[in-house]
Amino acid sequence: MNADAVVEDLIAALPEATVDTDPATLARCSHDDAEWAEFAIPSAVVFATSTDDVVRTVQIAARHGVPVVPRGAGTGLSGGANATAGCIVLSLERMTAVVRVDVEERYAVVQAGVLNDDLRRHVAEVGLWYPPDPASQAISTIGGNVATNAGGICCVKYGVTRDYVLGLTVVLADGQVATVGRTTAKGVTGYDLAGLFVGSEGTLGIVVEVTLKLLPLSGREERAVIGYFGSLTDAGRAVAAVSGAGIIPSALELIDRTCLHAVAEWQGWELPEGASALLLAKVDEPGARGEELAARIETEFRAAGGSRIERAVEPDEVARLFAARRLAYPALERLGPVLTEDVCVPRRAVPEMLARIEQAAADEGVVIANIAHAGDGNLHPLIIAPEGDDEAKRRAKRAFDRIVDDCRALGGTVTGEHGVGLLKLPGAAEELSPVVQDLHSRIKHALDPRSILNPGKAFPNGAS
């Protein structure tokens, strides 16, 4: 591979200021937000502004045999957008057009670089709503959300990104453009190729445009219920009790003592004495039905040992009660590098999984904070190790691997919404049987026989 020749061809083929080789840009775009995932410096970063830019980039990469690593906003937490040495990083962050919103049929067509929050605000102006709301919604792109099948706070009731993807326009490894999926409410012609690309982390094709199902914005009336618990296990029992009672909240989130204290210290809040966990629930059914569900959740919280329970209906008050959840991750980042886990277990196993996480922290002598989409069993243990402490980093890695093993032992999966990327490759190798791994390899080879697209990511033997 002649890196200079690749860059020269890119500059000749693409519009001015599309190709960037400045060392600072190469460094900035060489990795996502995953701590400790390996990365290298690319030959160039291409800032595409059109599908044609993407096609030309992929064609040049294929001609030279150079890997292409697609990138959105770089907010991923698994190393899925990390560069390999000499690759081309293909950024979609400038492809920010909302192409069309069909109010009657309730769908939107957007380019891959549109921010999640920007889409939500845009469709709200015509009375529509896009539900998937990852914690990074203000800074993550729709293309990146599609790549990892992102979830969010409200996915316990409304589902994840895949549930809203009707169709995709994808640039394939040979530079061809494929439009898959539909715009109709129903459609089963052919294989579900749109579903195949969702969650594939850029290893099968580069998503440039997405058609997304929307819901009516009206008819929802949010009520919030929060409660403090004396232990993580009690909070876990409350989660299992809510699920066991047949209640489907629009959100059910957990943050533990470490998170609570980090947020409280940062924001100057006072916490109840002995608070080891906070559960935050929402329901959005209107009127008497919503009031009934909120009351039932409060009852389950109290039965599991919850205290200082608060309820709110007014939007500002609902936002105030949920502020700790939104602030938890940035508050923890102030304490040091955060290695983020993303395991998902059956809801009934949440109490046991939380207990095992606490035990792993104690045994390895590391600080582990817990944030969780507890309503669907998706836990985010956040392992904090001081900067420059190699021994603490080794202990943190052991705790990380142990949590993955415990998750699988409880019938869970090693990633609920962040993707496999690089960090979860060992766990994926244990979770996926040899037959299933072979299926992945065969699909990859069929669509990308030279392994040009994001090689080495998303599944074991991903470069094959």
Assess whether pLDDT exceeds 90 at residue 19.
yes
The DSSP line for 376-413 is GTEEEEEEE--TT-HHHHHHHHHHHHHHHHHHHHTT-B
User: Is the pLDDT assigned to residue 339 strictly greater than 50?
Assistant: yes
Taking only the tens place, the pLDDT of each residue in 124-157 is 999 999 999 998 889 999 999 999 999 989 999 9
pLDDT value of residue 464:
47
Task: Name the residue with tokens 């040495």.
Answer: 85
For residue range 263-310, list pLDDT tens digits in order: 999 999 888 888 899 999 999 999 999 999 999 999 999 999 999 999
pLDDT at residue number 330 = 87
Lowest average pLDDT, out of 59-73, 335-349, 396-410, 446-460, goes to 335-349
Lowest mean pLDDT among 39-43, 161-165, 198-202, 273-277: 273-277
Q: Which residues pair with 180 in a beta bridge?
A: 168
Beta bridge partners of 215: 129
pTM reported for the whole predicted model? 0.94
What is residue 396's predicted lDDT score, i.e. its pLDDT?
92
pLDDT class of 325 with cuts at 50, 70, 90: confident
Torsion, Cα 78 81 87 92, to 10 degrees, reads 180
Closest to 141 in 3D by CA, of 69, 70, 219, 39: 70
Query: Burial level of 25, CB count in 10 A (0-12/13-18/19+)?
Result: middle
Q: What is the mean pLDDT of residues 352-367?
A: 94
Given a cut of 70, whether residue 1 has pLDDT beyond it is no
DSSP string, 252-279: EEEEEHHHHHHHHHHHT----TT--EEE
* Domains along the sequence of the chain with CATH: 3-93 (3.30.43.10), 98-216 (3.30.465.10), 221-329 (3.30.70.2190), 336-417 (3.30.70.2740)
Considering only CA atoms, which of 274, 250, 270, 232 is closest in space to residue 370?
Answer: 232
Q: What is the pLDDT of residue 347?
A: 87
The amino acid that residue 290 corresponds to is G
